[in-house]
Chain A
Amino acid sequence: MKRSHARRGNPRATAAQLLQQLSAGRSLSELLAGAPGNVPPRDLGLLKEFCFGTARWWLRLAPLAGLLLKHPLKPRDGDIHALILLGLYQLEYMRVAPHAAVAETVEAVRILDKPWAAALVNGVLRRFQRERETLLARVDRDPSARHAHPQWLMEALQKEWPDRWEVLVDAANHRPPMTLRVNLARISRQTYFERLQQASLSARPVPGIPSAAVLDQPMDAIDLPGFTQGLVSVQDAGAQLAAGLLDLQRGQRVLDVCAAPGGKSTHLLESAPGGVTLTAVDIDARRIARVRENLERLGLKAEIQVGDATHPAGPWAERHYQRILLDVPCSATGVIRRHPDIKLLRKAGDIPSLAAQQSRILDTIWPLLQSGGMLLYATCSLLPEENREQVKRFLAATKDAREKPIDGTWGHACEFGRQTLPGEDTMDGFYYACLQKV
């Protein structure tokens, strides 16, 4: 028989179990997608807050726990380690009554079947309450802990953005806004604001991006007025720049490579004057199902193909396109505020291999672009290896490619292409470069 503590679906215990798996290289989105641990629906928001918050501050909380633990925990007790960090997160960053945070976190050790850890977790959290300031001062001497960013990433950002890196890492540690993309093909932003008002919701327009609005209070997308009818989607303002940059003309053939989950694909269909023919390709058959769902919800049509951008094969690879959107796989260092686990999952060594993969994709897809056409290269990275250096290398190696400089009131012009930075104008960090074929 197994002991039951009659509290199934304890969100703290479940959060600890999920967070423990981050060290095995699994992402939180992936872990949370699997309807975790019998947590009742009313606690799902709390579970997400626990997971994302603890991951966001992990690199500050882990050294803090190191000071509080006499001996490091055994690898098999990774769940208890994660639970301690979760306890510290609640005490330092959440508005939970401290005594409840401690009691509930201690209770979770029983659900994890590790009652021996009750005294340990209790002792660690109470000592933090007593000695908070001294302990934090010690931990914060290390800039990597103070900013809760890995050393390699901080150094890379310092090098590329010497005047701005501190603002950047600070923005990455903030909760992201919930940004809407109003489907301007169906409703004007102003009329949609009226719909929001009728539902006692409020939002502010994002200047310079006609479709974008930031909700004052985040909520479930499904509950947004007109969401199921396709009047609105959820998409960061920086991502909403892509459709405009493509400069679409009526009747063009457009290819979106690495299209899943389809945010940019659907936006370019919404915004194309008079319609274009879109082929959306992604390597992941499961993720491409999301593209299909999004198209259906918005009442849009596209040809959907499963395909590998480094080995194009099949009908989609035998045509030429007037526009190509190439939103390549990248380090995602520009969207850390939405996916804080990137700070733990991504390693310095990943960057060269990602850059090599991006080069390969760019070189492979370029021949599919028709002469006179344009390819929009996009990443959600802040690192030059994936952005301006990538484009520089490509332009030097590709005779029939020219850069078309991007004018904009947003972001920052780079040697090649243009970059948005997290937190500026509500946006995530995206990089765009327009490449024309002569």
Chain B
Amino acid sequence: MARLNILCFPDPRLRNRARPVEQVDDSVRQLLDDMLETMYEAPGIGLASTQVNDSRRVVVIDISENHDAPLCLINPEILERSGEEEMEEGCLSVPGVYETVRRADQVRVQALDREGNPLEMAAEGLLAVCIQHEIDHLDGKLFVDYLSNLKRQRIRKKLEKERRQKTTNEPVRQPVI
């Protein structure tokens, strides 16, 4: 297993669209394992392949507090949405930013599991929100796209500034009084 590098907004590669997986083989399972490790370590509750710069259409999710309920979805598709819900979301690719997004409260999803078997499931609440958030990633869409232009620009500037500060290695100065 290996930890992968997570792309950060406004990296243009987050806008790439993932392509469907044609065959679920060991290399795909390896990718899923690496993504799970990366997600747990971050820590997050969902991660899409686009975020780790891989174009295979897969997501991993685990909304349990104890990290013991991993869910791997290959070629996921939403069949049905219903209800409405507002939830504050964060994203591993948009560190430190939490904003309220309106989404469907319940979804029905079809996908392949890690053995390549078709599955269909219903989800609601946090899980439903998380599935929608991750599938958005596979289509090159981010949760900040639901915000106003102004807000998104502000977030972009903030993250770009943080990036700059991280890369300039300022010497640590002791307080001199």
Which A residues form the contact surface with B (CB < 8 A)?
Answer: 1-4, 6, 8, 24-27, 29-30, 38, 113, 115-116, 258, 284, 329-330, 332, 335, 339, 342, 345, 380
Q: Nearest chain B CB to A134's CB is how many angstroms away?
A: 33
- Once bound together, how far apart are the Cα atoms of A38 and B95, in whole Å? 13
By beta carbon, the residue of chain A nearest B130 is A1
- Once bound together, how far apart are the Cα atoms of A339 and B88, in whole Å? 37
Q: Please tell me which one of the listed residues B66, B90, B172 contacts residue A3 in the complex, with CB atoms under 8 A apart.
A: B90
- Once bound together, how far apart are the Cα atoms of A258 and B66, in whole Å? 53
Q: Please tell me which one of the listed residues B43, B87, B143 contacts residue A113 in the complex, with CB atoms under 8 A apart.
A: B43
By beta carbon, the residue of chain A nearest B136 is A1
B122-143 Cβ-contact flags toward A at 8 Å (1 or 0):
0000000110011000000001
By beta carbon, the residue of chain B nearest A286 is B173
Q: A2-B44, A4-B89, A25-B174 are in contact. List 11 more A-B contacts (CB 8 A).
A: A1-B61, A2-B45, A2-B92, A3-B44, A3-B90, A25-B172, A115-B65, A116-B66, A330-B177, A332-B175, A332-B176
Sample (18) of A-B pairs whose CB atoms are under 8 Å apart: A1-B89, A1-B92, A1-B129, A1-B130, A1-B134, A2-B98, A3-B45, A3-B63, A4-B90, A6-B88, A6-B98, A25-B172, A25-B174, A26-B172, A27-B174, A115-B65, A330-B176, A345-B175
**Are B44 and A1 within 8 A (Cβ)?**
yes
**Are A284 and B175 within 8 A (Cβ)?**
no
- Once bound together, how far apart are the Cα atoms of A403 and B85, in whole Å? 77
By beta carbon, the residue of chain A nearest B129 is A1
Q: Please tell me which one of the listed residues B65, B88, B134, B174 contacts residue A345 in the complex, with CB atoms under 8 A apart.
A: B174
Contacts of B90 in A (CB 8 A): 1-4
Chain B, interface residues (CB within 8 Å), range: 20 to 34
**Chain B stretch 36-93: residues in CB contact (< 8 A) with chain A:** 42-46, 61, 63, 65-66, 87-92
Which B residues form the contact surface with A (CB < 8 A)?
Answer: 42-46, 61, 63, 65-66, 87-92, 96, 98, 129-130, 133-134, 143, 172-177
- Once bound together, how far apart are the Cα atoms of A345 and B92, in whole Å? 33
Contacts of A342 in B (CB 8 A): 175
Q: Nearest chain A CB to B36's CB is how many angstroms away?
A: 14
Q: Nearest chain A CB to B166's CB is how many angstroms away?
A: 13
Q: Nearest chain B CB to A431's CB is how many angstroms away?
A: 13
Contacts of B46 in A (CB 8 A): 1
- Once bound together, how far apart are the Cα atoms of A380 and B45, in whole Å? 50
Contacts of A3 in B (CB 8 A): 44-45, 63, 90
Contacts of B89 in A (CB 8 A): 1-2, 4
Q: Please tell me which one of the listed residues B43, B96, B143, B175 contacts residue A339 in the complex, with CB atoms under 8 A apart.
A: B175
State whether A258 and B176 are in contact (beta carbons under 8 Å apart), knowing that A1-B130, A2-B45 are contacts in the complex: yes
**Most chain B beta-carbon contacts within 10 A, residue among A3, A38, A330:** A3
Contacts of B175 in A (CB 8 A): 27, 29-30, 332, 339, 342, 345
- Once bound together, how far apart are the Cα atoms of A248 and B172, in whole Å? 37
Q: Please tell me which one of the listed residues A8, A113, A345 contacts residue B98 in the complex, with CB atoms under 8 A apart.
A: A8
Q: Nearest chain A CB to B43's CB is how many angstroms away?
A: 5
- Once bound together, how far apart are the Cα atoms of A284 and B129, in whole Å? 49
Contacts of A1 in B (CB 8 A): 44-46, 61, 89-92, 129-130, 133-134, 143
Contacts of A284 in B (CB 8 A): 173
Q: Nearest chain B CB to A115's CB is how many angstroms away?
A: 5
- Once bound together, how far apart are the Cα atoms of A330 and B174, in whole Å? 10
**Are B98 and A4 within 8 A (Cβ)?**
yes
**Most chain B beta-carbon contacts within 10 A, residue among A8, A25, A284:** A8
Closest 4 CB pairs of A and B: A2-B90, A1-B46, A329-B176, A4-B88
**Are A380 and B177 within 8 A (Cβ)?**
yes
Contacts of B45 in A (CB 8 A): 1-3
- Once bound together, how far apart are the Cα atoms of A26 and B170, in whole Å? 12
- Once bound together, how far apart are the Cα atoms of A119 and B45, in whole Å? 21
Contacts of A258 in B (CB 8 A): 176
Contacts of B61 in A (CB 8 A): 1
Contacts of A332 in B (CB 8 A): 175-177
Contacts of A24 in B (CB 8 A): 172
Q: Nearest chain B CB to A291's CB is how many angstroms away?
A: 14
- Once bound together, how far apart are the Cα atoms of A8 and B88, in whole Å? 10
By beta carbon, the residue of chain B nearest A118 is B65
Q: Please tell me which one of the listed residues B42, B172, B176 contacts residue A2 in the complex, with CB atoms under 8 A apart.
A: B42
By beta carbon, the residue of chain A nearest B51 is A1
Contacts of B133 in A (CB 8 A): 1
Contacts of B96 in A (CB 8 A): 38
Contacts of B87 in A (CB 8 A): 4
**Are A335 and B65 within 8 A (Cβ)?**
no
By beta carbon, the residue of chain B nearest A110 is B65
- Once bound together, how far apart are the Cα atoms of A3 and B176, in whole Å? 40
Q: Nearest chain A CB to B6's CB is how many angstroms away?
A: 11
Contacts of B88 in A (CB 8 A): 4, 6, 8
By beta carbon, the residue of chain B nearest A381 is B177
Contacts of A4 in B (CB 8 A): 87-90, 98
- Once bound together, how far apart are the Cα atoms of A1 and B98, in whole Å? 10
- Once bound together, how far apart are the Cα atoms of A115 and B45, in whole Å? 13
Q: Nearest chain A CB to B131's CB is how many angstroms away?
A: 9
Contacts of A339 in B (CB 8 A): 175, 177
Q: Nearest chain A CB to B128's CB is how many angstroms away?
A: 11
Q: Nearest chain A CB to B46's CB is how many angstroms away?
A: 4
- Once bound together, how far apart are the Cα atoms of A431 and B163, in whole Å? 43
